[in-house]
């Protein structure tokens, strides 16, 4: 079971976490320097939701942006 939205297909994204040291110039320092980059993943905010699909209720994983936009008909 992969971590992706079953409505829009939104999935995880790779990015870098940047580590810096030093004091910012506007605070009186000589500037911030990058000392390292480490990979990280950004995951979508998925919720397990009971939704009506093809006339019957099913449990699917949906991102919160699809829920907020009303793209899913909830089954209560």
Looking at residue 23, what is its pLDDT?
Answer: 97
User: Residue 56 domain-assigned?
Assistant: yes
Check: CB of residue 75 under 8 Å from CB of residue 57. Answer: yes
Q: Environment class of residue 16 by beta-carbon count within 10 Å: exposed (0-12), middle (13-18) or buried (19+)?
A: exposed
User: Residue 63 domain-assigned?
Assistant: yes
Residue 1 has pLDDT above 70, yes or no: no
| DSSP category for residue 66 | H
User: Residue 21 domain-assigned?
Assistant: yes
Structural domain that includes position 52: 13-69
How many structural domains is the chain composed of?
1
Angle among Cα 37, 41, 42 to the nearest 5 degrees reads 120
Looking at residue 58, what is its pLDDT?
Answer: 94
User: Residue 37 domain-assigned?
Assistant: yes
User: Residue 76 domain-assigned?
Assistant: no
pLDDT band at 69 (very low <50, low <70, confident <90, very high): very high
User: Residue 3 domain-assigned?
Assistant: no
For residue 67, the SS3 value is helix
* Average pLDDT estimate for 17-30: 97
pTM (two decimals): 0.72
User: Residue 40 domain-assigned?
Assistant: yes
pLDDT band at 10 (very low <50, low <70, confident <90, very high): very high
């Amino acid at each position: 079971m992969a971590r992706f939205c079953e409505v829009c297909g939104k999935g995880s994204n790779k990015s870098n976490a940047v580590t810096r040291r030093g004091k910012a110039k506007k605070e009186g320092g000589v500037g911030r320097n990058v000392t390292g980059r480490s990979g990280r993943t950004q995951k979508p905010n998925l919720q397990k939701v009971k939704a009506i699909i093809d006339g019957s209720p099913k449990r699917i994983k949906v991102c919160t942006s699809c829920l907020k936009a009303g793209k899913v008909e909830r089954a209560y």
